[in-house]
Amino acid sequence: MMIMPVFSEIASFEGGIVKEMTLTAGTYNYQEVLFITGEPIVLTGTVKIPTIPDNRDTYTLQYSYELKNIEKNVELSRSVTYSVTKDVKESYGQTLYDYEMSKLDESITVGGVEYTLDSKNFTRSMNYDNTPAVDYFSGNLYLKRIYYINGDQFINQGKVIVETTSHNDEGALIGYDHLWGSAETYMAKMTIEKIWPNPNYDADDSSSPKELTWKGFVDLRASEQTFSDFKFQRTSPQNISFTGNYVRVDQIENVFQYTYDLPKIEDGQVVAGKRNIGEDNIRTDKVVNGDSMVVPRIKDIGGHWAEDSIFLLSSLEIINNDSDFYGPNLPLTRIEFAEMIANAIATIEERTQTDIIRSLRPGATQLFHDIPNDHPKYNYVLFVYNNDIMEGYANYFSPQEPLKRSEMVKIMIDALGLEHRAPQLPFQTRYDDDAQIPDWAKRHIYMADEIGLVKGYPDNTFKPDSYVTRAEAAQMVHNFIYHIKDNIRIDFREKLINRY
């Protein structure tokens, strides 16, 4: 899984907010705020967003904007072209992207006053950490633009310098992408400086400035998130074969917040000693999909403590039970968990009959000695192996071997790429049987406890060597999905954009 880097719903270095698609393919309704005049002016119009190629190391992206504010008599037209270079660092599991702004055409008119873009300085780069379950990314941004008022650099009525940078020491763009959603959070600070000739300049007066100036400061914070919710719908008729089913609802939330500290301007004049300070936000929410899920028919989970988790995972077809009985208290096997974790983090394509026949030809490579190439779960084993989620033992996968609690936690934390966030050994976990936790699993169990993925037993033990039951596995995978679906979402919006 790999997310392609792109200003998608956050479609501009101005922040802004993308709304519904228009009747023209690739073109969306769009809003951003203009600060170049010294007051915030909300502009409304459209943005054309390009399609991102997924199989090229170099490519170009062009964004086009047509925006207006009729009340303020403002028009803005902008065309931006980026030249993108991708560099895959396979040994690190990371992908680096470098952006060059090869073209920026911008025309701004405010009440008959024209702002002509004369020069720019731009840098932007991105780093994507491609873990099996989540692709995390972070990037920096710097953009400096100089506009001349009613003229060019030789003859004009002044100039405006706009500088946009990353906020403090954090990335301007940070986010993630996974099976159940994605997020981009954009945080930048903008400095605006206007310089114009002093109409009352007196060359004979040393205290008379030749030029006048004002400065303004703006914090831009934008967030776009796509996420899934699982809503249970009950069926009220008595004569119906099922009591309810889950619906997967996919949504997009866009938020654009800005805080400004600008000069106080009255009748076209800067009021000395006073500032225009404030904040505002624009928001749009969209429901983009609502799919009914299958209704499981399992006879032995009614009233079980893990009933809800088993029912949900079965509805999502993460658990594909071949029987009317789930066996919640039976030990979970390695092959069963390979299927569950693979389905929880990716869409696993079914193998075609042609692929199976080709894999059985003489000379074809066999992944493990105990997983024949026509094994019904072969595609799941191949996925977890290729993504370094589960390994074998000396060319054997041991598909029917029960899975220990310590092994399951290691698999899930490795899938999330979070092991390296744990303290370095030696250290002790909070569990009373910490001495029983092997060193190879201690950092994983620490992180799983930190993010609420697993809990210990009521006696404050973890029991790392106990075999995982099928019910416990369902609960842990349920927690795993909700962590990447909901907990990460809070981190990448509320905890970021509400910080400033």
Ordered DSSP codes for 129-176: EE-SS-EEEEEEEEEEEEEEETS-SSS-S-EEEEEEEESTTS-SEEEE
Per-residue model confidence (pLDDT) at position 1:
41
C-beta atoms surrounding 173 within 10 Å: 22
User: Which residues are CB-neighbours of 158 under 8 A, at least 6 positions away?
Assistant: 148, 149, 194, 195, 196, 197
Please indicate, yes or no, if residue 144 is contained in any of the structural domains. Answer: yes
The residues, ordered by sequence, that sit 6+ positions from 303 with a Cβ below 8 Å of its Cβ are: none
Would 10 be classed as within a structural domain? no
Is residue 314 domain-shared with residue 422, that is, in the same domain?
yes
Report the pLDDT value the prediction gives residue 2, as an integer from 0 to 100. 40
Residue 373 included in any domain:
yes
The reported pLDDT for the residue numbered 356 is 86
Last residue of a domain, one of 265, 290, 315: 290
- Asked if residue 145 belongs to a domain, the reply is yes
Inside any domain, residue 6? no
Please check whether residues 323 and 212 belong to one and the same domain.
no
Mean pLDDT, range 19-38, rounded to an integer = 93
> What's residue 247's pLDDT?
93
Q: Which of 254, 273, 290 is the last residue before a domain boundary?
A: 290
Average pLDDT over residues 99-123: 95
Q: Is the pLDDT of residue 43 over 80?
A: yes
Q: From CA 136, how far away is CA 128, in angstroms rounded?
A: 6
Q: Are residues 97 and 154 in the same domain?
A: yes
d(CA 482, CA 419): 19
pLDDT tens-digit map of 60-103: 999 999 999 999 999 999 999 999 999 999 999 999 999 999 99
Contact between 500 and 339 under an 8 Å Cβ cutoff? The reply is no
Pair (164, 25) in one structural domain? yes
**Closest by Cα among 28, 30, 35 to 74:** 35
Question: Which of 55 and 328 is assigned the larger pLDDT?
Answer: 328
Q: Is it the case that residue 411 has pLDDT exceeding 50?
A: yes
pLDDT higher than 60, residue 3 = no
- Alpha-carbon gap, residue 175 to 137, rounded angstroms: 5
Provide the domain limits for residue 359. 296-488
493, part of any domain? no
Are 239 and 320 contained in the same domain?
A: no
Assess whether pLDDT exceeds 80 at residue 496. Answer: no
Model confidence pLDDT, tens digit, residues 398-407? 999 999 999 9
Q: How far apart are CA 111 and CA 149, in angstroms?
A: 12
- Average pLDDT value for the chain: 90
Say what the pLDDT of residue 236 is.
66
Which residue type occupies 373? Answer: N
In this model, does residue 129 exceed pLDDT 50? yes
Task: Kindly state the average pLDDT of the residues 410-430.
Answer: 92
Co-location of 407 and 265 in the same domain: no
> Would you call 75 helix, strand, or coil by DSSP?
strand
196 pLDDT more than 80? yes
pTM for the model stands at 0.85
Q: Are strands 27-34 and 173-178 parallel, antiparallel or unpaired?
A: unpaired
Does the pLDDT of residue 141 top 70, yes or no? yes
6 falls in which pLDDT band (50, 70, 90)?
very low
State the average pLDDT over residues 314-332: 92
Contact yes or no for 460/326 (Cβ under 8 A) = no
Let me know whether 303 and 444 are in one domain: yes
% of the chain beyond a pLDDT of 70: 94
Residue 158 — left, alpha, or beta (φ > 0 → left; ψ -120 to 50 → alpha)? Answer: left
The closest of 185, 101, 139 to 5, measured between CA atoms, is 139
Mean pLDDT of 335-360: 91
pLDDT at position 176 over 50: yes
Say if 38 falls within a structural domain.
yes
447's CB contacts (< 8 A; 6+ apart) are 413, 418, 419, 421, 422, 453
Range from 153-157, 238-242, 438-442 carrying the lowest mean pLDDT: 238-242
Least confident range of 42-51, 187-196, 268-277: 268-277
Angle (deg, nearest 10), helices 334-345 and 378-386: 70
Residue 321, pLDDT score: 78
| Structural element, H or E, at residue 415 | helix 405-416
Question: For residue 9, what pLDDT band results from cuts at 50, 70 and 90?
Answer: very low
User: pLDDT of 251-305, one tens digit each?
Assistant: 988 889 999 999 998 888 899 889 999 999 998 888 888 899 999 989 999 999 9
Q: What is the pLDDT of residue 4?
A: 42
Same domain, 436 and 468: yes
Task: Judge if 48 and 158 occupy the same domain.
Answer: yes
Residues 249 and 329 in one domain: no
Q: What is the DSSP letter of 281?
A: E
pLDDT in tens, 151-168: 999 999 999 999 999 876
Total domain count, the chain: 2
- Find the range with the poorest average confidence among 24-28, 409-413, 489-493: 489-493
Query: 7 pLDDT band (50/70/90 cuts)?
Result: very low
Structure tokens at 162: 């706009």
pLDDT of residue 386: 92
pLDDT for residue 121 is more than 70: yes
Looking at residue 5, what is its pLDDT? Answer: 43
Q: Determine, yes or no, domain membership for 380.
A: yes
Check the CA dihedral 371-376-380-386 and report its sign.
positive
Same domain, 354 and 249: no
Picking from 255, 290, 325, the residue at the C-terminal end of a domain is: 290
pLDDT given for residue 248 in this prediction: 93
Same domain for 277 and 306, yes or no, is no
